[in-house]
């Protein structure tokens, strides 16, 4: 907590210490896969584009799993308590809430995909969103790409951003400030300008879920549902017939986006009515 009796220098030092400690897991998570890819480039004599396309998911998975092992190797229970992680009871109430969050994530993803696809087709975006989505689920080992994008990435990002970062930032900043800082960094980390457009809002929503439940397991489920929706979109975009049938015109994309948006709003209203589920 902030202490008004501290001098300006002491406050800066205390705030800096909190920020460094809060960002340390995220930096490890972001840098370790990149370092491994760099090693692969050096010994494999490949360019960055080649190794990202051919082996990016492999190096990400190895780096992310190694980070997870480092986080949990000595103090698993302490870490779970710090980041507020616990597997809830899968009774009728708890299972319903998880299903609502997964469904809301899928519908939110479809809505955002439709909006960005329309903007891209109208020439209002500086990159092709469809191509960006397809590239995310491309690569040589499709199964590994699916596992990393749908399961490993959401789990690690919730652990790092909504777990370590927000909880540690609250050691000095207010909860609102901690959420905003985490969401902003989460958005910037997506690098692609198209994805940054919605990553900040996603960061805010994921933080709301995690803090409302006091458990990042729930935000993980929403995040998994969100990423899951990109898989069928990628498959459809890979087939000229199905892409033309479902996404062949702007009005078709608009209808899909509107339906998914309405469903997401309805599911969200159902979710907020649910009582908090305690273990």
Distance separating alpha carbons of residues 100 and 188, to the nearest angstrom: 28
Residue 64 in tokens: 């992310």
Query: Are 122 and 249 in contact, with CB atoms under 8 Å apart?
Result: no
pLDDT tens for 88-136 read 887 777 788 999 999 999 999 999 988 888 887 776 655 555 555 655 5
pLDDT at 224 over 60: yes
Percent of the chain whose pLDDT exceeds 90: 46
Cα dihedral 197→198→200→205 (10° resolution): 170
**What residue has token string 């319903």?**
96
Q: Which pLDDT score is estimated for 279?
A: 43
Query: Are 67 and 32 in contact, with CB atoms under 8 Å apart?
Result: yes
Predicted TM-score of the model (pTM): 0.87
Where helices occur in 45-152 by DSSP H, the ranges are: 48-72, 76-83, 92-121, 129-136, 142-147
Read off the pLDDT band of 278 (50, 70, 90): very low
pLDDT at 66 over 70: yes
Summarize the confidence of residues 232-256 as an average pLDDT.
81
pLDDT at 138 over 60: no
CA distances from 164 to 2, 19, 29, 30, 138 (A): 19, 11, 12, 14, 30
The HSE-up count of residue 266 (CA atoms within 13 Å, CB side) is: 8
pLDDT tens for 5-45 read 677 787 788 888 989 999 999 999 999 988 888 888 777 77
Summarize the confidence of residues 196-220 as an average pLDDT.
93
pLDDT at 145 over 90: no
Domain coordinates of the chain in residue numbers?
Answer: 82-273
Read off the pLDDT band of 1 (50, 70, 90): very low
């Amino acid at each position: 907590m902030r202490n008004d009796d501290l001098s300006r220098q002491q406050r800066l030092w205390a705030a800096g210490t909190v920020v460094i400690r809060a960002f340390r897991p995220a930096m490890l998570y972001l840098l370790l896969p990149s370092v491994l890819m760099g090693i692969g480039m050096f010994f494999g004599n490949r360019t960055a584009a080649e190794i990202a396309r051919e082996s990016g998911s492999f190096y990400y998975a190895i780096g992310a799993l190694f980070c997870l092992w480092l986080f949990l190797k000595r103090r698993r229970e302490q870490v779970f308590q710090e980041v507020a992680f616990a597997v809830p009871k899968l009774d009728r109430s708890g299972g319903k809430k998880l299903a609502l969050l997964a469904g809301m994530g899928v519908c939110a993803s479809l809505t955002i995909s439709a909006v960005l696809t329309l903007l891209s087709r109208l020439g209002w975006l500086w990159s092709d969103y469809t191509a960006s989505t397809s590239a995310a689920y491309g690569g040589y080992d499709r199964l590994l790409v699916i596992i990393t994008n749908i399961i490993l990435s959401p789990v690690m990002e919730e652990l790092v951003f909504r777990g370590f970062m927000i909880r540690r930032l609250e050691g000095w900043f207010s909860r609102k400030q901690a959420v905003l800082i985490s969401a902003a960094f989460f958005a910037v980390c997506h690098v692609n300008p198209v994805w940054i457009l919605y990553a900040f809002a996603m960061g805010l929503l994921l933080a709301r879920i995690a803090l409302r439940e006091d458990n990042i397991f729930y935000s993980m489920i929403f995040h998994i549902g969100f990423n899951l929706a990109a898989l069928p979109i990628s498959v459809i975009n890979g087939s000229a017939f199905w892409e033309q049938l479902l996404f062949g015109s702007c009005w078709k994309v608009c209808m899909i986006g509107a339906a998914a948006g309405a469903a997401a709003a309805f599911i969200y209203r159902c979710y907020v009515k649910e009582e908090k589920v305690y273990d």
